[in-house]
Structure 1
Amino acid sequence: MFSQGIAEIVLIVDDVTKAAAFYRDVVGLTPMSPASEDWAWFWSGPPEASPRVALRRGKLLFEEHSPLPEGGRFGRLHYAFEVTRDRLEEAVAHVRERGVTVYGPTYFEWMSAKSYYFYDPDGNLLEWWSPDPA
């Protein structure tokens, strides 16, 4: 296997400033640097030790080579952030207090985990994913 894990996720957004505020204030990610009109970079967990989440307005490198038509090359995404069980309800309350609708909980027997879901301003489905304590 060549992969050592995920290095980054880049989301295409309509308004970087608005999306950056959501990921900072609602999701609680730590900015790597100040956001610009075209890019914002965050740590997905502990700084320097976690994959990055980037927000991008505009095209990505090599987008013109996608086999999908322009406007549908990337689509909306779903991804999950891991939250320890002792902080899960606090994380859900934090999102709700900021006026974001939260769905769940859902319990997944097959992976022994509890999850809640919510959408970002661009329609990407986020998840607070919490495995059962060992």
Structure 2
Amino acid sequence: MLKALWHGIYMPKEKRARFSELWRTIMDIDLDGKPQTTKNVFSEFSSAGLVDITNDPDFNGIYDEDMNEDPTYEPNSPEEKAVFMKYAESIMMKLTFSTVQIQQHENIFIFETAYWLSNAIKYNQDYLDICTYQRLQK
């Protein structure tokens, strides 16, 4: 599910296995890995079971909020990209779960959970200067 949140799409596991078997045939992939067909790639994935989670009511509006609180910060600038790419292997996403409530009905347990998604940097401030560390925190 983490990849689905990152990319905004999801394909169920049972459909994914079958689709990966047929992918080369459906798109007529050559030895270099390039499709030799005029078929629309997105429509082929959609018909194979790809789900756009932005259309799911549970995830409604998750990409709408602008999390950039600093109007002078431009995350797509060449300088910011270079800093990020230099330390990309040292940045990880952390998914934290907690149990909010547990209910039992006969032999059935219902768990209500909460989760938080955050980033973490493997290096500490001893390895990175404070400015770089704070830039990576953004």
TM-score, structure 2 as length reference? 0.20
Larger C-alpha radius of gyration, 1 or 2? Answer: 2
Higher strand share: 1
Q: Which has the higher contact order (CA 8 A, sep 6+)?
A: 1
TM-score, structure 1 as length reference? 0.21
Higher helix share: 2
